[in-house]
Structure 1
């Protein structure tokens, strides 16, 4: 598997993982007991914790990518059939 394929697959895994991780730990302003800002949506998170979620997304994606790479090297996944 070439570096371009590895990068493309990693970015796909990273994007899907990000959308999976985003809702974890989200609390609205009402649930957190904070005052809402004028014009704020009721469902807007009080503290989105994006940096923490980006780190977790990167770690989880790296582990999943190692699994995909191993499956490709073991011959279970064939991205370029003959």
Structure 2
């Protein structure tokens, strides 16, 4: 099955968002943990979010995962026939 560039972009886009939500909680310190905070804000709010750094790490991590998945697909490990056979679903 041949995929177009738009299909690969859509797969990478979804993978990027999933990776972003996986990496968001790492390294965050809340206002409650640091002992500071602005009055009227939630104690669980992060003190420093560093979103730029998170976006860079998300892009790098999702690119590595995407490259590994693409290599596995090109090698034939991620074909529909193989995956349906592994799950016991007739194809």
TM-score, normalised with respect to structure 2: 0.77
Task: Report which structure shows greater RCO (CA 8 Å, sep ≥6).
Answer: 1
Does 2:68 match 1:78? no
CA RMSD of superposed structures (Å): 1.4
Q: Where do 5+ consecutive residues of structure 1 fail to align?
A: none
Does 2:68 match 1:67? yes
Q: After TM superposition, give the deviation of residue 28 of structure 1 in Å.
A: 1.1
Q: Deviations over 1:18-56 (max 9, x none)?
A: 01100011101232242x223211100000111111000
CA distance in structure 1 between the aligned counterparts of 2:50 and 2:71, rounded to whole angstroms:
32
CA distance in structure 2 between the aligned counterparts of 1:39 and 1:30, rounded to whole angstroms:
13
User: Which structure has the greater CA radius of gyration?
Assistant: 2
Q: Where do 5+ consecutive residues of structure 2 fail to align?
A: 81-91
